[in-house]
Amino acid sequence: MAHVQCVAGLSHSLSLVSATRHKHTLPDLMYDYGALEPHICAEIMQLHHSKHHATYVNNLNVTQEKYQEALAKGDVTTQVALQPALRFNGGGHINHTIFWTNLSPNGGGEPQGELLEAIKRDFGSFQSMKDRMSAATVAVQGSGWGWLGFDKDSGRLRIAACANQDPLQGTTGLIPLLGIDVWEHAYYLQYKNVRPDYVKAIWNVINWENVSDRLKTAKK
């Protein structure tokens, strides 16, 4: 059901995008590639942002152009065939756009205010949430993401994992607050195959102000 809803939602979004001929672009980072060292090295950040994310953006634009042509022709077969590429590249663009803002050279520590209270309510403590999210993220098979999301129906925080570049909201309905990328391109140059060390280190650069702002927006 989640996949069907995701495809339907993406199709609707495509129709709107096609009408405006909108082109997606690679977002600028708010910090230098080396700003997250020693936790994430400059080489990883440069390749991850300027190469990997840029590829998702470029492929998303190409896919949407093809989809627009298929819409104009009423070619449903091609529209359906393009859904996997849309899901993968669109998800990659959505996920990474969130990811860069979730990180900051001034990050780390613990959240404050409303976010911290929500974490304590739903997980017992900040450390408990951190441990549970770390475990879920490390356990992702192959490539994917670990997420802290907001369930608008229940008003509670949830931890989830998504495979590949599946977008959290389109796949589960949860509104993304914090994502940890565990594709190997996010850490292998520095941490090799020791994913747990990377996940442990990334908490030192989490931008809790950004996560807090996302929660406030999600609750509106």
Q: Helices 54-73 and 83-102, interaxial angle, to 10°? A: 140
- 181 annotated as belonging to a binding site for a ligand: yes
- Rounded to the nearest 5°, which phi and psi values hold at 143? -110, 150
- 185 annotated as belonging to a binding site for a ligand: yes
- Cα-Cα-Cα-Cα dihedral sign, residues 132, 135, 139, 145: positive
- 96 annotated as belonging to a binding site for a ligand: yes
H-run or E-run covering 208: helix 208-218
Beta strands per DSSP E along the chain: 144-151, 156-163, 175-181
- Rounded to the nearest 5°, which phi and psi values hold at 29? -85, 150
- 93 annotated as belonging to a binding site for a ligand: no
Query: Binding site for Mn(2+): which residues?
Result: 48, 96, 181, 185
Query: Binding site: which residues?
Result: 48, 96, 181, 185
